[in-house]
């Protein structure tokens, strides 16, 4: 069985394209996904602009976008689907991560 590190939904790809197009710095060409310590459950996802890759980054090129995965986050993200949801009152990237064992009530952090 060959599990993809991360898959990107059409909605997420379109939002990443919008983010890159609206970046004030025209050297931005992707986004980096990291997992950082914090939040109620202990860990949270973090996204930043990418101007150049860092040593060890995993690069996912899918649906016309580049998503860079921080090497320290790889083991936490294996098999994750990255989506973008928009409703009447909010919009956000959503990570459907099969490795999560718990998620805080506000949905901002998780535990593995």
Q: Evaluate whether residue 94 is within a structural domain.
A: yes
Please give the tally of structural domains in the chain. 1
What does the pLDDT read at residue 60?
Answer: 92
Structural domain harbouring 76: 6-111
Q: Evaluate whether residue 84 is within a structural domain.
A: yes
Pick from 45, 29, 39: nearest CA to 80: 45
What does the pLDDT read at residue 2?
Answer: 56
Residue with the larger pLDDT of the pair 63 and 42: 63
Q: Evaluate whether residue 48 is within a structural domain.
A: yes
Q: Evaluate whether residue 67 is within a structural domain.
A: yes
Residue 109 has pLDDT above 60, yes or no: no
CATH number, residue 70: 2.60.300.12
Residue 1 has pLDDT above 60, yes or no: no
Pick from 54, 40, 57, 48: nearest CA to 20: 48
Q: Evaluate whether residue 92 is within a structural domain.
A: yes
Residue 33 has pLDDT above 90, yes or no: yes
What does the pLDDT read at residue 30?
Answer: 92
pTM of the model as a whole? 0.84
How is 12-67 classified by DSSP, letter by letter?
HHHHHHHHHHH-SSTT--EEEEEEEE-STTSEEEEEEEESSPPTT-EEEEETTEEE
Alpha-carbon span 30 to 48, nearest angstrom: 9
Q: Evaluate whether residue 1 is within a structural domain.
A: no
Beta carbons of 47 and 31 less than 8 angstroms apart? yes
């Amino acid at each position: 069985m060959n599990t993809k590190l991360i898959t990107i939904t059409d909605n997420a790809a379109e939002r990443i394209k919008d983010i890159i197009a609206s970046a004030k710095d025209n050297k931005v060409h992707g986004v980096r996904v990291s997992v950082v310590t914090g939040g109620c459950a202990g860990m949270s996802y973090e996204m930043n602009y990418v101007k150049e890759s860092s040593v060890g980054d995993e690069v996912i090129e899918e649906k016309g976008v580049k998503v860079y995965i921080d090497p320290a986050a790889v083991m936490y993200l294996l098999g994750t689907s990255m989506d973008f949801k928009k409703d009447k009152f909010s919009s956000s990237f959503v990570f459907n991560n099969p490795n999560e064992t718990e998620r805080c009530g506000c949905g901002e952090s998780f535990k593995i």
